[in-house]
Amino acid sequence: MRWKRLHGRARSRQRGISTTELLVISAVTGLFVLAGVPLMDDTCRAAAMSRSVAQVQGLLVRCRSVAVLRSRPCAVVFDRSSDGGWRCVVAEDGDGDGVQRRDIATGDDPVVGPVVVIDGGGAGPGILRGEPVPDPSGRGSLGGDLGDPIRAGRGNIITFSARGTATPSSVYFTDFSRRMVVLRIYGGTGRINRLSWQRGSAVWR
C-alpha cells in the first residue's frame, strides 16, 4: 500500500509541464528576445562601422608605404557609387604632376591593386545627422558639406609623398545611429590618428 502511494507521488513529480506553464515560459522568453533586439542591432552596427574603418585605414597605410618604397607620390582616390556607397583605389603618380583623375582614366597614373568597395553592411563613410557634431580640432561644430565625409581638399584624393608626408585630411564614418569615427591624416608626418565620438558627447576621444 505504501509502495503505491510512493509510486503515485513519483509519477506526479514526473508529469510534463502544463499548457499554462508553457505559455508563461514562452512569454518570458519572448520578452527577453525583444529586449535583446536593440542591443544586437547596436552591436552589429558598431561592428560594421569598425570593418569600414579598418578597411580604409589599411589602404591609407599601404598607400604611404608604396609612396616611400617607390619614391613617388601615391594616393587613395575615393568615389561615391551610384547607390550612395563608396569605393576607392590606390594610384601612383606616373607622370610627375600629382595623382589626378584624368590621368588615372588615361593610364598615366597607374592603379595599384583592385578597386576596393567600402561595404560595412549598413555603416560606413558618413556624418551623423540630428545634432551638432563637434569638430575634432576642438573649434565648435563640424561644418562644411555634411554630405561629404571625405575631407581631403579637392577631389577626395589623399596623397602621400615619397617622404611620407600627406594631404592633411579627415575621413568620417558613422553607424547611422549614434556613433562616429574619424581617421585624421596629418600632413607633416602622414601619421593617421583614429578618434571616436557618440551622440551626446562634447568631444572626440
pTM: 0.80
d(CA 107, CA 134): 40
Residue 4, number of CB atoms within 10 A of its CB: 8
d(CA 98, CA 50): 31
Tell me the torsion sign for CA atoms 29, 31, 33, 36.
negative
User: Quick one: average pLDDT of 111-122?
Assistant: 84
Higher pLDDT, 4 or 119: 119
pLDDT of residue 32: 45
**pLDDT band (50, 70, 90) for residue 8:** low
pLDDT at 22 over 60: no
CB distance 73 to 99 below 8 Å: yes
Domain 17-198: CATH architecture, name and number where available: 3-Layer(bab) Sandwich (3.55)
Higher pLDDT, 16 or 68: 68
**pLDDT band (50, 70, 90) for residue 28:** low
Domain boundaries, the chain: 17-198
